[in-house]
């Protein structure tokens, strides 16, 4: 006799394997429309910049994405990190300048600052939303601060009015890291149009996924001009002119987006809203089913914004559960039980960004740069700070496969799995404590 109806005890999994087995493949498979667009570029032979003919797909994408976001300018580049770097450079951040970044984000937010030989200064997050806590920003502003980089983690826009107010008070630029923020709205406005400049990513599982790629948006012509030069060797190039001067005016990189990627992105952009809406439908349904489970915290969405659910995050609230195990152990036990039920769960970041070796050892350009080579003051990446970041890293995980074509049928099974696991939480914890293995093997997420 099984001891419970948990899959861990040998009972049938709540999610039929057939319903999930092809979910990744379905999600990643290109449509005929996408294949046709890429093949057309291949047939044309026009794969990158061609003087006199420009980059028609990259330029088309820039026009269309600028319109989608509601800004004047967009720059297509070859990664989200490049988009952020162009935004940082475009905003006039320079060597030794400081940029405020949340402690909970992907390393690329801070890397884009280091790439400009500038110094990331970290701020803790609000544990309810996983987003930079505006109340903690001003304490980190110094005479060297040039910009604030709010990151719309998991697809929820940051508290932009408050952040913009602080920025105005201290004459700082605001650079949104919207790598995960496609399709989300703050007070009716799109992410990417909420600060001075923004960067979007197109890698792995992003809502506008093309393999690799990035998009920078801004309403500011001078930011756009500097960012364009950063993209292309520090040159001022009119893509459609018949000749190129080859006269670099400053340091620049080669961040051009290939034409095949641009063509693919243009097709995906046409379907972005329906993709996000289907994900939101799945997320809303899941929340309606999970929100009353004691000890589980579903995503918090403040009333002035929408969530696009790049990832759907839940917290295990050990203070509401009859367990004195550390939160990370309870989280691992719950994840293991859900995995056994065929729910796709994963952990995203495993440490606060300032805890990563690059900051603890201050190893970037070498010879102390950027931390000591511009007469900058002492920067401390004190590990006892960022308590909220550490707490959420310990007690939350993400639920995958909310994206279309997955539908409410899968969400229904997910909800049943969660209900089962929390109903039998004692048994779940017992099994986990018995098995000497610590963390659950989770799918890699970025
Ligand atoms: C929050 C965040 N910022 C920046 C990036 C960087 O994008 P990319 O990997 O395309 O350089 C990513 C995604 O990878 C991200 O999730």
Sign of CA dihedral 19, 20, 23, 26: negative
Strands 214-218 and 197-201: antiparallel
- Residue 180 CA to ligand 1 centre (angstroms): 8
Nearest atom in ligand 1 to 214's CA: 10
Nearest atom in ligand 1 to 84's CA: 4
Give the residues surrounding ligand 1 with Cβ less than 6 Å away.
79-81, 105-106, 108-109, 151, 177, 179-180, 201, 203, 214, 446
- Residue 88 CA to ligand 1 centre (angstroms): 15
- Residue 289 CA to ligand 1 centre (angstroms): 31
9 CB contacts (<8 Å, ≥6 apart)?
2, 3, 427, 431
pLDDT band (50, 70, 90) for residue 301: very high
Output the residue whose Cα is nearest ligand 1's atom 8.
80
Nearest atom in ligand 1 to 202's CA: 10
Nearest to 158 by CA among 138, 181, 140: 181
- Residue 436 CA to ligand 1 centre (angstroms): 35
Nearest atom in ligand 1 to 206's CA: 13
Residue 1's pLDDT is 67
Task: Give the CA count within 13 Å in the CB-facing half-sphere of 95.
Answer: 10
Peptide bond into 405 cis (omega under 30): yes
Q: Given ligand 1 and candidates 99, 101, 104, 106, which is best to mutate, with the most ligand atoms within 8 Å of its CB?
A: 106
Output the residue whose Cα is nearest ligand 1's atom 7.
80
- For residue 186, count CB atoms less than 10 angstroms from its CB and return exposed for 0-12, middle for 13-18, buried for 19 or more: buried
Q: What residue segments make up the domains of the chain, in order of their start?
A: 32-271
Query: Which CATH number does the domain 32-271 belong to among 2.30.42.10, 3.40.640.10, 3.40.50.2000, 3.20.20.210?
Result: 3.40.640.10
pLDDT band (50, 70, 90) for residue 436: low
Q: 423 with 295: CB under 8 angstroms?
A: no
| CA atoms of 130 and 276, how far apart (whole Å) | 20
Task: Give the CA count within 13 Å in the CB-facing half-sphere of 270.
Answer: 10
Q: Evaluate if residue 412 carries a pLDDT over 90.
A: yes
The pTM score is: 0.96
Q: 209 with 268: CB under 8 angstroms?
A: yes
DSSP category for residue 320: G
Residue 23's pLDDT is 56
Q: 137 with 166: CB under 8 angstroms?
A: yes
Q: Evaluate if residue 182 carries a pLDDT over 50.
A: yes
Output the residue whose Cα is nearest ligand 1's atom 4.
108
Residue 21's pLDDT is 54
* 222-256 pLDDT per residue, tens: 999 999 999 999 999 888 888 899 999 999 999 99
* 263-279 pLDDT per residue, tens: 999 999 999 999 999 99
Peptide bond into 243 cis (omega under 30): no
- Residue 152 CA to ligand 1 centre (angstroms): 11
Q: Evaluate if residue 101 carries a pLDDT over 50.
A: yes
132 CB contacts (<8 Å, ≥6 apart)?
100, 101, 102, 123, 125, 126, 150, 151, 158, 163
pLDDT band (50, 70, 90) for residue 446: very low
Residue 25's pLDDT is 55
Task: Give the CA count within 13 Å in the CB-facing half-sphere of 323.
Answer: 24
Q: Given ligand 1 and candidates 76, 80, 211, which is best to mutate, with the most ligand atoms within 8 Å of its CB?
A: 80
Q: Where are the alpha helices (DSSP H) in 144-271?
A: 160-169, 221-231, 259-270
């Amino acid at each position: 006799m099984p001891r419970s109806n948990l899959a861990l005890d040998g009972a049938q999994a709540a999610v039929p394997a057939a319903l999930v087995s092809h979910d990744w493949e379905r999600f990643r498979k290109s449509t005929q429309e996408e294949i046709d667009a890429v093949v057309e570029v291949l047939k044309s032979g026009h794969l990158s910049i061609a003087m006199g003919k420009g980059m028609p797909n990259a330029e088309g994408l820039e026009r269309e994405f600028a319109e989608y976001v509601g800004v004047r300018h967009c720059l297509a580049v070859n990664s989200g990190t490049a988009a952020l770097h162009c935004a940082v450079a475009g905003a006039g951040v320079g060597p030794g300048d400081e940029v405020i970044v949340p402690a909970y984000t992907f390393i690329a937010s801070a890397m884009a600052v280091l790439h400009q030989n500038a110094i990331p200064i970290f701020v803790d997050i609000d544990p309810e939303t996983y987003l930079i806590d505006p109340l903690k920003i001003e304490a980190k502003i110094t005479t060297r601060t040039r910009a604030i980089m709010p990151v719309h983690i998991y697809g929820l826009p940051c508290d932009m009015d408050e952040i913009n107010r602080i920025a105005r008070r201290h004459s700082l630029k605001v650079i949104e890291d919207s790598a995960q923020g496609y399709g989300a709205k703050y007070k009716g406005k799109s992410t990417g149009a909420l600060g001075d400049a923004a960067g979007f990513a197109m890698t792995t599982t992003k809502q506008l996924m093309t393999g690799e790629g990035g998009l920078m948006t801004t309403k500011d012509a001078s930011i756009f001009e500097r960012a364009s030069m950063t993209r292309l060797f520090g040159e001022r190039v009119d893509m459609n002119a018949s000749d190129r001067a080859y006269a670099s005016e400053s340091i620049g990189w080669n961040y051009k987006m290939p034409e095949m990627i641009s063509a693919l992105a243009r097709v995906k952009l046409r379907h972005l809203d329906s993709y996000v809406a289907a994900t939101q439908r799945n997320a809303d349904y899941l929340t309606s089913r999970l929100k009353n489970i004691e000890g589980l915290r579903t995503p918090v969405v403040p009333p002035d914004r929408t969530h696009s659910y790049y990832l759907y995050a839940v917290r295990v609230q050990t203070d509401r559960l009859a367990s004195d195990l550390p939160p990370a152990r309870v989280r691992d036990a719950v994840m293991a039980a859900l995995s056994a039920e065929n729910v796709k769960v994963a952990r995203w970041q495993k440490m606060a960004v300032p805890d990563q070796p690059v900051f603890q050892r201050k190893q970037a350009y070498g010879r102390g740069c950027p931390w000591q080579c511009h007469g900058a003051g002492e920067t401390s990446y004190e590990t006892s700070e960022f308590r909220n970041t550490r707490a959420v890293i310990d007690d939350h995980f993400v639920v995958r496969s909310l994206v279309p074509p997955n539908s409410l049928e899968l969400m229904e099974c997910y909800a049943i799995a969660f209900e089962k696991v929390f109903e039998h939480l004692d048994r779940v914890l017992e099994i986990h404590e018995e098995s000497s293995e610590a963390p659950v093997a989770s799918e890699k997420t970025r």
